[in-house]
Each structure stands twice: as structure tokens, then as C-alpha cells.
Amino acid sequence: MTWRPRLIALDIDGTITPVGREDIAPAVRAAINRAVDHGAHVVLSTGRSLVGTLPIVEDLGLRGTTAICSNGAVWWDTNTREVIRKVEFHPGPSVERLRALLPDAVFAVELTGVGNLSLGRFQEGDLWGEVREVSFDELVATPTSRLVMRWVGRTPEELALRMLDVELPGVSASCDHNEPWLTLAPPGVTKGAALEDLRSALGVSERDTLAIGDGSNDVEMLRWAAHGVAMGQAPVSVQEVADAVTGTILDDGAAAVLDRYFAA
């Protein structure tokens, strides 16, 4: 019998949609629908906040599954439409360290299901949901599941180099490869760790897992999966940990992977 994955973890930005957008290519949408129709657990596993993830959940019509948001810190039940898991951390120590290290950086803490509190002004379209600018004291006093930082006027390469040997207290951190953007999550929280908890709860075998992603925050997820696939535009460091590399987002690379197991 041909092997088919029973648990499929899909990154959003750069994997099933262009970065920061909500449009899903017809071929990708059809491939995801076929996987669902064959009984696979399709899980959106994203660095996006819940507010940014919900339009994709609704567009795909996903039900009977879990959306893993904020790099694993927030879980959303697609049937009850409720947050069923949320892990938070105190952002103060990291924000203080980063402000000293990265002049001109702006910060935002996620308010789950609502939007963000920001310290400084982000670019239009950077943040999902409502955005309210606040003082340093209010920002660092707000426990959050996700903190994002943009280093204004710099490149992703400059940020990655500056953060190379930096350890932040009590958080998990990942740099974006498209923008000078840093995401912080609670300690030990990653997409891979969250998916392992979900896999165990669903009773799915380790060998029946598939993951597709393109960013540094997908590394743990790709390592977790029995078959981890990197998108064609992913950085070399991400491709190297994957079991295979597919086409780019422009080539509908995610559809090409799913079509191997759930052909039309």
C-alpha cells in the first residue's frame, strides 16, 4: 500500500501563501482539500498570531483540527473556535537587552485574538489585528505568547549577524530570512515541540507525519516530521535539515508535495 501521511503540518507564509498575504493558489488549495478528504489531519503551523491565522483557516474551511499559531504558543480548536492552549512569557528582560543591542528597533507584544501593543511604529501590514502604541513600561508589563521586533532600516543579514552569539533570557528566538524581523516565544516553545504534543494526543504514529515549511522557525518542525520538506526558496540552512526540497511558493511547491500522496 502506498504510504500517506496522517498528520500534515503546513507553514503559512512562504509555503501556502505569499509572505504576509491571504491568497492561496488554486493548486495548493485543491491539494490541501484532497488531503482533508482522505482523512489526514491538516494542521496550520505558523509563526503568525491567531488573528493572522484565522482568515486562512476560514478560507480553507478547516474543521475538526487544530491551528498552531505563534510558533506553537497558541492552539486554536477549529470546531469550538476557542483557544485551547496558550503559553506566555514576560517580555521585559528581552526587550531591555534588544533595545540596547539594536538601536531603532520597534517591538510588539501579541494580545491573543485581538492584535498587538507596540513600542514604536511598525510598517503598514506588519501586524495583524488592532495595534495600539504604548509606553515601554506598559509593553514590558504585558505577558505575551509572542513578541516581534523589526530592526528599522537594516537588512535580514545584518540582524542575523548581530544576533549570532546573543542569548536572550527565558525565550526561544528566531530570525526571519525575508525581513529584519525577530520573533520571540516562551522558552521551549517551538513548532516541533507543539506538533509532537499534538501527534501524541491524536495517536498518530511518528512515521506518519509530514511537514512543509520555508523559514528558520520551521527547522524544528522539519526535524520533527518523518518527512520534512523545505520550500525551494528556503535558506540553505533550512533546506539542509529537510528530507527533501520542493518547488518555490511561485511554483506551488506545497501542492507538488501533497499531490504525491493525494493525487487528483
* CATH number of the domain residue 63 falls in: 3.40.50.1000
Q: Residues near 260 by Cβ (< 8 Å), separated by ≥ 6?
A: none
Per-residue pLDDT, averaged over 207-225, amounts to 97
Query: What is the DSSP pairing of strand 130-133 with strand 227-230?
Result: unpaired
Does residue 206 sit in the same domain as residue 172?
no
Q: What is the pTM of this model?
A: 0.93
Whether residue 197 sits in one domain with residue 80: yes
For position 151, what pLDDT does the model report? 96
Within-domain flag for 129:
yes
- pLDDT > 70 in the chain, percent: 100
Domain that holds residue 154: 92-185
> Once rounded to an integer, what is the mean pLDDT over residues 190-200?
97
Question: Given this model, what pLDDT does residue 1 score?
Answer: 52
The model's pLDDT over 43-91, given as tens digits with 9 standing for 90+, comes to 999 999 999 999 999 999 999 999 999 999 999 999 999 999 999 999 9
In the prediction, which pLDDT does 2 show? 80
For residue 137, the model assigns a pLDDT of 97
146 and 125 in a common domain = yes
Alpha-carbon dihedral angle through residues 123, 125, 130, 134, given to the nearest 10 degrees: -10
